[in-house]
A and B are shown apart, each in its own frame.
Chain A
Amino acid sequence: SQQGEEDPQALSIQEGENATMNCSYKTSINNLQWYRQNSGRGLVHLILIRSNEREKHSGRLRVTLDTSKKSSSLLITASRAADTASYFCATLPGSNDYKLSFGAGTTVTVRA
C-alpha cells in the first residue's frame, strides 16, 4: 500500500525558479527517500534523510523532514529544463524492513 502522498500532483515553473513539493506519510519511519523518474525510464535515487535528521542538502536539492507532522519537502533551486521529471517520495518503516512505500509522485515541468 502507498503510504506517502505527494503534493501537488503537478507543478509547472519557469526555468530559474524554485520548485517545492511535499510528501506526507502516515506511520513512523526509519528514513524517507526522494527519487526522480524521467519519462519512460527507471527511478534514480536523489537523497535519503533519516528520522533523526531535519534537513539535508545535495547540490541544488534541499530536503526537510518534520517527523512530528509526518511530512517532508523537496526543494529544487534554480530549476533547469533537465529537472523536468516526476518526483517520488518513499518511506521505510524500520531499519529491519525491506520494503519502501512509494507515493504517487509530483510531475514537474520546467519551461524554458
Chain B
Amino acid sequence: SQTIHQWPATLVQPVGSPLSLECTVEGTSNPNLYWYRQAAGRGLQLLFYSVGIGQISSEVPQNLSASRPQDRQFILSSKKLLLSDSGFYLCASTGGKGYNEQFFGPGTRLTVL
C-alpha cells in the first residue's frame, strides 16, 4: 500500500502571507494526486487533482494553486492567504485510475489570522 506524507502538521499564518504545503507519496509510481480541504465538521471539497507531472486540474476558483514538480510530489501554494483559507488540508493518492481507493495523508491544519 501507499504512504502519504504531509508537512507541516499545523500552521498558523497571518493574512496576506504566502503558503506552501507539501505532499509526497511512497509505495507507488505515477499516482493520481489530490488536494482536498475540509471545513470543521464537514465533508471534503476537492481543490486540485493531477494525473501526471505538470498536469493540474483546478476544481474551484480560489486563492490557491497547485504544482506537481515530480511524480510523487504535490505542492499547494498561495501568494497571499485569506481568512477563508483556514481549514484542514488533505493530500490523497490513487495508484492507477480513479476507480481505486484513495490513500490519504495525515493532513495539515491551517489557521489564518
Contacts and interface: CB of A to CB of B under 8 A. Distances in A.
Interface residues of B, number: 28
Nearest to B36: A102
Contacts, number: 62
Contacts of A33: 101-102
B109 A88 contact: no
Given A98-B49, A99-B46, A102-B43, A42 B90 contact: yes
Interface size class of A (residues with CB under 8 A): 20 to 34
B107 A42 contact: yes
B86 interface: no
Given A40-B107, A43-B104, A99-B49, A88 B43 contact: yes
B66 interface: no
Contacts of B36: 102
A96 B106 contact: no
Given A31-B99, A42-B105, A92-B98, A104 B90 contact: no
A43 to B, nearest CB: 4
Contact of B99 (A30, A44, A88): A30
A45 B109 contact: no
A42 B49 contact: no
B43 A2 contact: yes
Given A41-B106, A42-B104, A42-B105, A95 B44 contact: no
Q: Which of B46, B49, B109 gathers the greatest number of chain A CB atoms within 10 Å? A: B46
Contacts of B100: 48
B4 A99 contact: no
Nearest to B50: A98
Contacts of A48: 100-101
Interface string B14-51: 00000000000000000010101000011110100101
B109 A100 contact: no
Interface string B77-100: 000000000001010101001111
